[in-house]
């Protein structure tokens, strides 16, 4: 638990860092200018394991349900007993249509796993 009780106001600074690993093929294509410029967020898939519904709603609205797949923490505990309801609530919060639920829970995961045509037939 986080203590959110009354405390003195203090100045704080948050510092973030990241490391991006790029395989040799991608590196070569970038150097050759063979990859079109665009939104880098559109090049990745994301899972739903944000334990805050508002953050998940923002993420799905930002990148689109076609880039988000229902995720799992296996082998670790999920910290939510109802992951599908968590996703449904986030989609509603983002104002996305009901069809986005099937996209996030079925179609995108199948695409990530290389079964896009199977998902389209289901």
Domain boundaries, the chain: 39-121
Residues in Cβ contact with 104 at an 8 Å cutoff, skipping those fewer than 6 apart: 48, 60, 65, 68, 69, 70, 87, 91
Give residue-wise pLDDT tens across range 9-61. 788 787 877 777 778 887 888 788 887 777 777 788 999 988 889 999 999 99
Give residue-wise pLDDT tens across range 53-110. 999 999 999 999 999 999 877 777 777 778 889 999 999 999 999 899 999 999 999 9
Q: What is the pLDDT of residue 3?
A: 67
pTM given for the model = 0.62
Tokens encoding 62: 């930002």
Q: What is the pLDDT of residue 28?
A: 85
Residue 68 phi/psi, 5-degree rounding, is -120, 135
Q: What is the pLDDT of residue 108?
A: 93
User: Pseudo-torsion of CA 43, 45, 50, 53, nearest 10°?
Assistant: 80
Residues in Cβ contact with 44 at an 8 Å cutoff, skipping those fewer than 6 apart: 67
Q: What is the pLDDT of residue 38?
A: 72
Q: Would you say residue 118 has pLDDT above 90? A: no
């Amino acid at each position: 638990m986080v203590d959110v009780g009354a405390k003195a106001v203090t100045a704080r600074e948050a510092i973030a860092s990241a490391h991006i690993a790029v395989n040799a093929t991608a590196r070569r294509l970038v150097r050759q200018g063979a990859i079109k410029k665009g939104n880098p967020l559109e090049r990745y898939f994301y899972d739903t394991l944000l334990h805050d519904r508002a953050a998940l709603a923002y993420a799905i609205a930002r990148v689109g349900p076609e880039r988000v797949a229902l995720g799992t923490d296996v082998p670790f505990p999920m910290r939510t007993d109802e992951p599908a309801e968590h996703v449904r609530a986030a989609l509603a919060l983002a104002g996305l249509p009901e069809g986005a639920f099937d996209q996030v829970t079925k179609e995108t995961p199948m695409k990530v796993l290389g079964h896009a045509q199977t998902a389209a037939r289901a």
